[in-house]
Structure 1
Amino acid sequence: MNVPIASILRGLGEKCLLNWALVFFQRKHICRSFLGVFSVSLAVADTLLTLSVTALHLQAEGHLLGLKLTRYHVCLLVQILGEVYSALQWPVVVLAGLDHFFSITRRWQASSRLSLFVSGLLWILSALYVFLLSDFRPVIEEVFHIQIHQCWVFHTSQILHIATSLLLILGCAALHAGCLTLKHSPLKDQTTDQSRALSRRSYVLQTLHIFLNTWALFLVILAVLLLLLVGIPAYLGLSGAWLCFLNSLLIAVVLCAVCPASQLGQGWGAVPPDSFCEWRFTFSLASEDRA
């Protein structure tokens, strides 16, 4: 799809401002998780991209290291970074999910230095993948560079695929918890299992309520985009807002899938930081204590 260069600059500028606003909003704990550190690196990358595209657009007749800069380079840079952003999507999801899993289960806590190293390595590997292994081919208009006023922009559907996949996993976890309620039985061990199943079910339902209460509108927007088959420009696909939603969704998935309700009595200091969802649970575990 062809997009005017002015629209690209406006979209990049608004995205850049939103990224830094979210970084500032989460500044107290943003370095405590891999996804937070990656959000900072994304804000830096978007800032560099925005400044570079703006400079190329305003000084189309300039030179850099012996290379004549034209508006062709604006389109080329936007397309390359869009492909890099698309290549980062699933690796970020997998690594953030593992980070949340180890944090919530108290098995391991990644340091900010390690998160920074992994983030930098991801950017490098994604760029190498785009240049060396992918079938990416830039699309440039065959017109004189002074006459270029719009660029061909690739679309990405990975956001919708990721959101759909994780929501299906979350739904399966909730359905499984709902099916855990056993029939009443006079036997002590079965009564104990039933009590634990009820606690687990209540815990999962509250997890879903906390998540949906915060992100319901965002889910509606994703559903509309999915139904209307609206393409998301690749250079806008990876954003701070998407990473915030992804953080809450991954926390909900891990909490529903792996954490027994009995751990609530030990406190939830291990839950990854989330500036949008307040992961607090109100039900009592007295039934488990009696069992």
Structure 2
Amino acid sequence: MNISISCILLGLGVKCLLNWALVFLQRNHICRSFMGVFSVSLAVVDTALTLVFAAIHIHSDGHFFLLGLEVTRYHTCLLVQIFGQVYGALQWPVVVVAGLDHLCTISLQPAAFRAKWIVRSFVTVLLWNLAALYVFMLSDFIPVLEDVSHYQIRHCWVFHTTQILQVVTLLSLTLGYATLHANLSTRLVKNPPQEDQRGTHPRRSFVCQVLRILLNTWALFLIFPAALLLLPVGIPSYLGLNVAWLCFLNSFLIAVVLCVVRPTSQLAHGLAAEVKYTTS
């Protein structure tokens, strides 16, 4: 789709403000998980992209020199397309790594905070580099640029994001299954078999508790993914990966890991509270 440069700059600006606002609100524990470290890196990358875009837009002649290189509106449109592809390539790897991070936090012995921070930072940098290499070397990405002078270019062609719809579909199916399972379990445990009272009932109660916290916390936000599945609208690829979306993914992944690997009572209650209060 063709989007005007002004609208792209506005979208990037709002996205940056939202990213840094959420990072600031969670500054006390932003680096306690991989998703938090990645959120900070995403905020930095978005800010750099927005500043370059703004510098081009401010100059009336549509070009300026950056590190000795002449940057024009063609380059800004190309940057938006490239970063959109990189964001799309990062969707699934971030989900997988964040899930493994929470799984290791629950299942393994706690390690030193400094060691975990170094590992998470290294993995974050590695994912960014691998995503960039994938876009340039392995994907079928072909830039789309207008055949006009950079003085006359006013719009940029922007691709839709498809990976976020895949993630939304998986999350919707998982939440639907969990809700159905919780409802059936609630009905069955009213008169449970004798052998089910000792182990299954506490586990079902814990799953229902985690699911209830997740749904109560993100009820309004869930309307947005549902609308994406029902309405024929597309999300520009450069907006597909943002800290607000990562906040929801983080809470959802914590809930899934808690339901799969039920930890000790004290740790369970602490992580269940993190589903409610952690946003990065």
Residue 164 (structure 1) shift: 2.2
Distance 1:163 1:222 in 2: 6
User: Which residue matches 2:141?
Assistant: 136
Aligned in 2, Cα 1:277/1:132: closer, same or farther, shift over 3 Å?
A: same
Contact 1:23/1:39 (8 A) holds in 2: yes
Contact 1:2/1:150 (8 A) holds in 2: yes
User: Tell me, what secondary structure is at the counterpart of 1:271?
Assistant: helix
User: Which residue matches 1:207?
Assistant: 210
The AA in structure 1 aligned to 2:65 is H
User: Tell me, what secondary structure is at the counterpart of 2:222?
Assistant: helix
User: Tell me, what secondary structure is at the counterpart of 2:276?
Assistant: coil
Contact 2:262/2:268 (8 A) holds in 1: no
Distance 1:165 1:144 in 2: 43
Q: How does 1:245-284 map to 2 (within 5 A)?
A: 245-259=248-262, 263-264=264-265, 266-268=266-268, 271=271, 274=274, 277-278=276-277
The AA in structure 2 aligned to 1:118 is V
User: Which residue matches 1:95?
Assistant: 97
Residue 143 (structure 1) shift: 1.3
Q: Report the TM-score, using the length of structure 1 for normalisation.
A: 0.85
Q: Given the alignment, which residue of 74, 78, 81 partners 1:76?
A: 78
User: Which residue matches 2:232?
Assistant: 229
User: Tell me, what secondary structure is at the counterpart of 1:242?
Assistant: helix
Residue 144 (structure 1) shift: 1.6
User: Which residue matches 1:161?
Assistant: 166
User: Tell me, what secondary structure is at the counterpart of 1:56?
Assistant: helix
Q: Given the alignment, which residue of 242, 245, 252 partners 1:242?
A: 245
Aligned in 2, Cα 1:257/1:84: closer, same or farther, shift over 3 Å?
A: same
Aligned in 2, Cα 1:210/1:229: closer, same or farther, shift over 3 Å?
A: same
Contact 1:61/1:69 (8 A) holds in 2: yes
Distance 1:95 1:77 in 2: 26
User: Tell me, what secondary structure is at the counterpart of 2:144?
Assistant: coil
Structure with greater Cα Rg = 1
The AA in structure 2 aligned to 1:229 is P
Distance 1:28 1:65 in 2: 35
User: Tell me, what secondary structure is at the counterpart of 2:3?
Assistant: strand
Q: Which runs of 5+ in 2 are unaligned?
A: none
Aligned in 2, Cα 1:142/1:273: closer, same or farther, shift over 3 Å?
A: farther
Residue 224 (structure 1) shift: 1.1
Residue 192 (structure 1) shift: 4.6
Distance 1:38 1:75 in 2: 25
Q: Which runs of 5+ in 1 are unaligned?
A: 186-190, 280-291
Residue 173 (structure 1) shift: 4.6
Residue 172 (structure 1) shift: 3.4
Residue 204 (structure 1) shift: 1.2
User: Tell me, what secondary structure is at the counterpart of 1:223?
Assistant: helix
Contact 1:104/1:272 (8 A) holds in 2: no
Q: CA RMSD in A?
A: 2.4
Q: Identity over aligned residues, as a percent? A: 60
User: Which residue matches 1:283?
Assistant: none
The AA in structure 2 aligned to 1:150 is H
Distance 2:117 2:63 in 1: 42
Q: Report the TM-score, using the length of structure 2 for normalisation.
A: 0.88
User: Which residue matches 1:47?
Assistant: 47
Contact 1:141/1:148 (8 A) holds in 2: yes
The AA in structure 2 aligned to 1:207 is V
Distance 1:242 1:273 in 2: 19
Distance 1:10 1:28 in 2: 29
Contact 1:34/1:99 (8 A) holds in 2: yes
What number of residue pairs does the alignment pair up?
270
Contact 2:178/2:211 (8 A) holds in 1: no
User: Tell me, what secondary structure is at the counterpart of 1:69?
Assistant: strand
User: Which residue matches 1:27?
Assistant: 27
TM-superposition CA deviations, 1:28-49 (whole Å, max 9, x none): 0011110000000000000101
User: Which residue matches 1:286?
Assistant: none
User: Which residue matches 1:123?
Assistant: 128
